[in-house]
Structure 1
Amino acid sequence: MAITVGSIRGAVSGLALAVLLATTGAAAQQQGPATPAVRLIQPPARDQSDLQVLFWSDAQRAERFRAMEQWFAGHEVAPPSAARPLPKGTPLSPALQAEISALMKATGTAGVMVLVDGKVVHEEYGLGMSPTDRWTSFSVAKSFTATLLGAAVKDGFIKSLDDQVTRYIPGLAGSAYEGVTVRQLATMTSGVKWNEDYTDPKSDVAQMNRFVVEFGPEAIVAQMKALPREAEPGAKWVYKTGETNLIGVLVENAVGKPLAEYAKTKIVDPAGFAGGLFWMVDPRGGNIGGCCLSITLPDYARMGQFALEGGGAAVPQGWFAEATDSAVDFGDSGFGYGYQWWTYPQGTYGAQGIFGQGITIFPDKKVVFAYIGNWQDASGGPERGQFLDLSRKIAAEVK
């Protein structure tokens, strides 16, 4: 299918929820998980100026990215009784180890972990991080939300990705989302117009806070239903964090529980996370589909291994192969987009978040490259390319 690719300006930024975050602490409703393994954390009230993530200083980011539960309301998910072991493998060559260390230091990267066939061949920390500290994900969360979408299909809560979005979010009836399928929502090819320009005060991203103030718990649906259509469904790709938020609403409506609670049984436990998970809530009291969960670096790697191995019984058979296959190609660059996963040349894929979070997976080499950071520029600047190049060097060294 020929799909026109819209502007990808800011696509790897992924903090379209930044303007929402300042409201979540006070506005979160008491909708919440029913299991003792998931609890709502409500931090002390803070001055709104202290909650504008994009305007935090370098020192504030380095301190707060590892402790977002002290700043924003969210659900904390307990880890399983036994974590997935990550045994040691053959270390990378000294030259590659030195290159990783130098790049981490130069870019403000808080941690790098490399798995080969499920074994740790490199693990390194900076910025005072440790293996037990959690670090925020930003848009890496999108790939978690897509995994829960797959789980909801497997469990029968969602009949088909070809169902209409309005079947699960009735509030979108009569809007530009009429006739859009769940699959098109997952691939950001709805044809609905969206502006993710963080420098434009009139952009849809910049208007999110206005909708929260005006509509509270109904903000996500209220904003998205007001958007116009610019192309036929399936015909054009435009990066829209607002649509991942809709996926979160859709899954929660279908399953009847917050994403974090569903993630407990569909990701955290089967992937064997050691440090649990913290996922911010929005004014509904549900979780933010497009952003803002926190896990440890080893658990970033475990999530990559979980995807590499196909997700076990949590998702339909072949789900990850389908989700990480490019549904949209960005010209002939070899890059593209699947179900909330970025696709890279030569069958590689990954998840990305602003300020330097990522999971890159090389299926043919059974390599998982996970990193967390506090890069100076939200969109990554040259760092994103440097880390992709580094991951390729690592994969090339693996026999």
Structure 2
Amino acid sequence: MRALILAAGLVLAGLPAVAADKPPPPASVLFWSQAQKEAGFPKMEAYFPMSTAARGDQVHELPAGAPLAVARVGGRTFDLAEYMAREKTAGILVLQDGKVRLERYGLGYGPEGRWTSFSVAKSVTSTLVGAAVKDGYIQSLDDAVTRYIPGLKGSAYDQVSVRQLLTMTSGVKWNEDYTDAKSDVALLFSTPADPGLDSTVSYMRRLPREAAPGAKWVYKTGETNLIGVLVTSATGKSLSAYLSEKIWKPYGMEKDALWMIDERGQEAGGCCLSMTLRDYGRVGEFLRTGGIGAS
């Protein structure tokens, strides 16, 4: 059966009023209203510092395929415009075999605009780990995390491998409750860093252990942020620069991507990577076809 890929469906959510010289803490995004999401997600660079993953000179084309006429969800058929309005959807792109079968926009969003990702960024960050292994920057996924992030030495991450960090099986205790202002995922972005340390490393090294490494899976945005720090440390390059080098330029993304950074210039590996809807589709195609030169 030929695969039908929903390359990207952006359920989009006006921005909080902030002083131009003082951006809001990244954790505030977790608690934005629907109106704030709809205004803020397409222009995160107006509110937070960002780095750029530059596109190249060539564009990977997405030719038109046979159009899809209806939207079917859960066995029900919907008028697409009605469905998008009801679900507050800003963009839908459906690709099949690299061809565009459906592309629609709403909420004032359009093909030239970027939209921020949250956990989709995790897949991009982990893909860069694969590139770093292939390039020889990371010797093995079974290496200790502390080999690449010395700031974690003496913490609950002492016996954790890169593989366990990637699979969120470190055994380190974590709370990912997006409705709780005291959860780890909220405090990660709002707790002042120890002097001389990356803010993610500073927070994560304070966490206690709750299980042996490899014994328990818990979803942890903080650990993908650590993966981003690890890639930067291993390669000596920012995540944005490495993304540009390994994917954005050679694969032919249509527009520069923007990635939220902290006060030390480190990208948030677990979230906050902004790109166009079609470039989300190209990321899907990059992964589906096996990368550069395989499509």
- Give the TM interval when normalised to the shorter protein: 0.7 to 0.9
Work out the CA distance in 2 between the residues paired with 1:85 and 1:240: 35
* In the alignment, structure 1 residue 283 sits paired with structure 2 residue 259: no
* In the alignment, structure 1 residue 88 sits paired with structure 2 residue 68: no
**In the alignment, what sits opposite 2:233?**
253
1:102 aligned to which of 47, 63, 82:
82
Number of residue pairs the alignment of both structures matches: 275
Work out the CA distance in 1 between the residues paired with 2:244 and 2:192: 28
Shift of the alpha carbon at 1:47?
A: 6.1
Work out the CA distance in 2 between the residues paired with 1:159 and 1:104: 46
TM-score (normalizing by structure 1):
0.64
**In the alignment, what sits opposite 1:205?**
185
* In the alignment, structure 1 residue 78 sits paired with structure 2 residue 58: no
CA contact (8 A) 1:141 1:289 kept: yes
Shift of the alpha carbon at 1:201?
A: 4.1
3-state SS of paired residue (1:124): strand
Q: Deviations over 1:43-89 (max 9, x none)?
A: 94146489832343333321221111111111123321111001000
CA contact (8 A) 2:49 2:261 kept: yes
1:1-399 equivalence runs, <5 A: 44-46=20-22, 48=24, 52-94=28-70, 96=72, 98-212=78-192, 215=195, 217-312=197-292
Work out the CA distance in 1 between the residues paired with 2:213 and 2:25: 39
Cα separation, partners in 2 of 1:216 and 1:132, compared to 1, 3 Å: farther
What letter matches 1:184 in structure 2? Answer: Q
Cα separation, partners in 2 of 1:98 and 1:188, compared to 1, 3 Å: same
Shift of the alpha carbon at 1:95?
A: 5.8
What letter matches 1:262 in structure 2? Answer: Y
Work out the CA distance in 1 between the residues paired with 2:190 and 2:279: 35
Shift of the alpha carbon at 1:213?
A: 5.7
Q: Deviations over 1:78-132 (max 9, x none)?
A: 3211110010001124465954433211111100001110000000000111111
Shift of the alpha carbon at 1:236?
A: 0.4
Work out the CA distance in 1 between the residues paired with 2:101 and 2:168: 35
3-state SS of paired residue (2:42): coil
What letter matches 1:246 in structure 2? Answer: L
Cα separation, partners in 2 of 1:117 and 1:309, compared to 1, 3 Å: same
What letter matches 2:55 in structure 1? Answer: P
CA contact (8 A) 2:200 2:225 kept: yes
Identify unmatched segments of 5+ residues in structure 1: 1-21, 26-42, 318-365, 367-399
3-state SS of paired residue (2:186): coil
Shift of the alpha carbon at 1:210?
A: 4.8
Cα RMSD for the two superposed structures? 2.6
Q: Deviations over 1:340-367 (max 9, x none)?
A: xxxxxxxxxxxxxxxxxxxxxxxxxx9x
Cα separation, partners in 2 of 1:228 and 1:101, compared to 1, 3 Å: same
Shift of the alpha carbon at 1:216?
A: 7.5
Work out the CA distance in 2 between the residues paired with 1:175 and 1:304: 36
Taking only the aligned residue pairs, the percentage that are identical comes to 55
